[in-house]
């Protein structure tokens, strides 16, 4: 067998695409941990922020020596930087053999054949008008992970003024519901217990297509699949969060009580310049309604600091919004100019040091809120879906609560893939710690597939490289 090295940067969509790329070639290649061992190197890239893109150029640049020593190695740059840069990548880095945009990663086999036949570099960055993803079911060979991603749509129509995504992933296209259900069923049959439905804006699922269900209706259908215990989804755009969806989150037992709802900024002036399509007041009203429907819901968000023209007063409004909503966790970023994005042309750019200062203030405030929320779990019992052994200790199991908090705990053998109750005794910055109480799978209501006994799903060896 030949060897493939895959490195994935960026969001869950990219992780999903990398999994599918590997599924396409796994009869020919096994995964390896180092580029120097590989016959094929695939770098699945992210260009959402400048820092992520710079990392990609650094990494691919360093592969030049490897290609010189072993010219037969095939190097592919895939994903969003590939889409954004196209054949400029080949010009800048001539040791690259393939440039495949996010919608072309499914043509990996054809591209490989073409390179092997000596036809020169392959560049495919065409943006398709339909959901072209072939149905590829990862064959998990009895080593199913506990949770899996399932793409339900691609692209985005929102054109937030800072964002490159509509240009790299194209216009929004929803995947036919029967394909989504077939993929989830296939995963569940192999032992997957939790799915995360993915899209840039899942809340607008199906809106552009005739006779497609709404996202809330899709959720209800997915949740009916026997053997699926938990359903999550990301990302939700606040402007498209409907009462109907709030009701679905509250009513469907399988849908976990966690919503990632990126707000980006707290000031109406900045939100308008960002083209987000909602005001601070509308956002807060939706949070209020959501908490009425589902009081135990946990919220997380994304924040950008230092958007062009963001004044100290605007920034203070972001801080006050964080205090008002009290997100369990946030992902915060310094604004960076992106190709094609409108804000790149805006004046009044905020100096780097000022962006860094604002980011630090956001971190400090959020750290306090996160700690308080984590501490509020101490002394309580939670439901945990066990994903495997803890990253920090083989003695401990690790899993997540329905609210998406990581829990590490000591417990009996063979808990992977089980749903258990854990009593929380302590917490850190990023996780809760506790002790095992009881195995819910022994409860007659839950039937457990016997597949979750093998090695961890191999693919996760290709760790994601988020830069933040």
Residue 166 touches which of ligand 5AD, ligand SF4, none (Cβ within 5-8 Å per kind): ligand SF4
Residues sharing a CB contact under 8 Å with residue 302, sequence separation 6 or more, in sequence order: 260, 262, 263, 264, 330, 331, 332, 333
Residue 159 touches which of ligand SF4, ligand 5AD, none (Cβ within 5-8 Å per kind): ligand SF4
201 contacts ligand SF4 (rule: CB under 6 A): yes
- Binder of ligand SF4 out of 82, 165, 218, 407 (CB under 6 A): 165
Residue 201 touches which of ligand SF4, ligand 5AD, none (Cβ within 5-8 Å per kind): ligand SF4
Residue 20 touches which of ligand SF4, ligand 5AD, none (Cβ within 5-8 Å per kind): none
332 contacts ligand SF4 (rule: CB under 6 A): no
419 contacts ligand 5AD (rule: CB under 6 A): no
302 contacts ligand 5AD (rule: CB under 6 A): yes
CA distance 27 to 14: 21
CA distance 232 to 196: 5
Q: Output the residue with the shortest Cβ distance to ligand 5AD.
A: 302
219 contacts ligand SF4 (rule: CB under 6 A): no
Tell which positions 218-277 bind ligand 5AD, by CB under 6 A.
262, 264
423 contacts ligand SF4 (rule: CB under 6 A): no
Q: Which of these ranges, 112-120, 171-179, 238-246, 329-337, lies near ligand 5AD under the rule CB under 6 A? A: 329-337
Tell which positions 229-258 bind ligand SF4, by CB under 6 A.
237
Shortest Å distance, C-beta 344 to ligand 5AD? 8
103/336 with CB nearer ligand 5AD: 336
18/264 with CB nearer ligand 5AD: 264
338 contacts ligand 5AD (rule: CB under 6 A): yes
333 contacts ligand 5AD (rule: CB under 6 A): yes
Q: Which of these ranges, 61-69, 90-98, 331-339, 436-444, lies near ligand 5AD under the rule CB under 6 A? A: 331-339
Q: Which of these ranges, 90-98, 162-170, 213-221, 321-329, lies near ligand SF4 under the rule CB under 6 A? A: 162-170
Assign 3-class secondary structure to the chain: CEEEEEEECCCHHHHHHHHHHHHHHCCCEEECCCHHHCCEEEEEECCCCHHHHHHHHHHHHHCHHHHHHCCCCEEEEEEHHHHHHCCHHHHHCCCCCEEECCCCHHHHHHHHHHHHCCCCCEEECCCCCCCCCCCCCCCCCCCCCCEEEEECEECCCCCCCCCCHHHHCCCCEECCHHHHHHHHHHHHHCCCCEEEEECCCHHHCCCCCCCCCCHHHHHHHHHCCCCCCEEEEECCCHHHCCHHHHHHHHHCCCECCEEECCCECCCHHHHHHCCCCCCHHHHHHHHHHHHHHCCCCEEEEEEEECCCCCCHHHHHHHHHHHHHHCCCEEEEEECCCCCCCHHHHCCCCCCHHHHHHHHHHHHHHHHHHHHHHHHCCCCCEEEEEEEEECCCCCCCEEEECCCCCEEEEECCCCCCCCEEEEEEEEECCCEEEEEEEEEHHHCCCCCCCCCCCCCCCHHHHCCECCCC
56 contacts ligand 5AD (rule: CB under 6 A): no
156 contacts ligand SF4 (rule: CB under 6 A): yes
Shortest Å distance, C-beta 359 to ligand SF4? 18
200 contacts ligand SF4 (rule: CB under 6 A): yes
342/410 with CB nearer ligand 5AD: 342
CA distance 315 to 360: 12
102/166 with CB nearer ligand SF4: 166
Tell which positions 104-163 bind ligand 5AD, by CB under 6 A.
162-163
Binding residues (CB under 6 A) for ligand 5AD: these are 48-49, 162-163, 262, 264, 302, 304, 333, 335-336, 338
Binding residues (CB under 6 A) for ligand SF4: these are 156, 158-160, 163, 165-166, 200-201, 237
């Amino acid at each position: 067998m030949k060897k493939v090295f895959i490195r994935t940067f960026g969001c869950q969509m990219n992780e999903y695409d990398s999994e599918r790329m590997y599924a396409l070639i796994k009869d020919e290649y096994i995964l390896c941990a180092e580029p120097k061992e590989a016959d094929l190197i695939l770098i699945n890239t992210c260009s959402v922020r400048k820092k992520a893109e710079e990392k990609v150029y650094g990494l691919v640049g360093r592969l030049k020596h490897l290609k010189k020593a072993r010219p037969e190695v095939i190097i592919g740059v895939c994903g969003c930087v590939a889409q954004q840069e196209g054949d400029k990548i080949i010009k800048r880095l001539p040791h690259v053999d393939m440039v495949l945009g996010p919608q072309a990663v499914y043509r990996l086999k054809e591209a490989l054949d073409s390179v092997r036949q000596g036809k020169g570099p392959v560049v495919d960055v065409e943006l398709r008008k339909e959901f072209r993803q072939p149905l590829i079911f990862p064959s998990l060979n009895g080593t199913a992970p506990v949770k899996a991603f399932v793409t339900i749509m691609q692209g985005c129509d929102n054109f937030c003024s800072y964002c490159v995504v509509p240009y790299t992933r194209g216009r929004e296209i929803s995947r036919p519901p029967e394909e989504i259900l077939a993929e989830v069923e296939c995963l569940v049959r192999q032992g997957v217990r939790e799915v995360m439905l993915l899209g840039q804006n899942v809340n607008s699922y199906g809106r552009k297509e005739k006779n497609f269900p709404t996202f809330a209706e899709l959720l209800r259908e997915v949740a009916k699949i026997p053997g699926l215990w938990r359903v999550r989804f990301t990302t939700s755009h606040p402007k498209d969060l409907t009462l109907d969806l709030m009701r679905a989150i509250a009513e469907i037992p399988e849908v976990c009580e966690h919503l990632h709802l990126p707000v980006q900024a707290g000031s109406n002036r900045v939100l308008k310049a960002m083209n987000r399509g909602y005001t601070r007041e509308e956002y807060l009203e939706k949070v209020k309604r959501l908490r009425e429907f589902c009081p135990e819901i946990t919220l997380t968000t994304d924040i950008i600091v230092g958007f062009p023209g963001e004044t100290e007063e605007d920034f203070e409004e972001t801080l006050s919004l964080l205090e008002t909503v009290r997100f369990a966790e946030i992902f915060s970023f310094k604004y960076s100019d992106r190709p094609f994005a409108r804000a790149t042309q805006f004046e009044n750019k905020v100096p780097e040091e000022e962006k860094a200062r604002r980011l630090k203030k956001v971190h400090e405030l959020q750290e306090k809120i996160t700690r308080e929320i984590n501490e509020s779990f101490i002394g309580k019992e939670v439901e945990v879906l066990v994903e495997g052994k803890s990253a920090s200790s083989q003695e401990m199991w690790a899993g997540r609560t329905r609210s998406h908090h990581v829990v590490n705990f000591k417990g009996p053998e063979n808990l992977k893939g089980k749903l258990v109750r854990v009593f929380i005794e302590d917490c850190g910055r990023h996780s809760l710690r506790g002790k095992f109480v009881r195995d819910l799978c022994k409860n007659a209501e839950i039937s457990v597939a016997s597949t979750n006994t093998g090695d961890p799903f191999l693919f996760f060896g290709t760790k994601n490289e988020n830069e933040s």
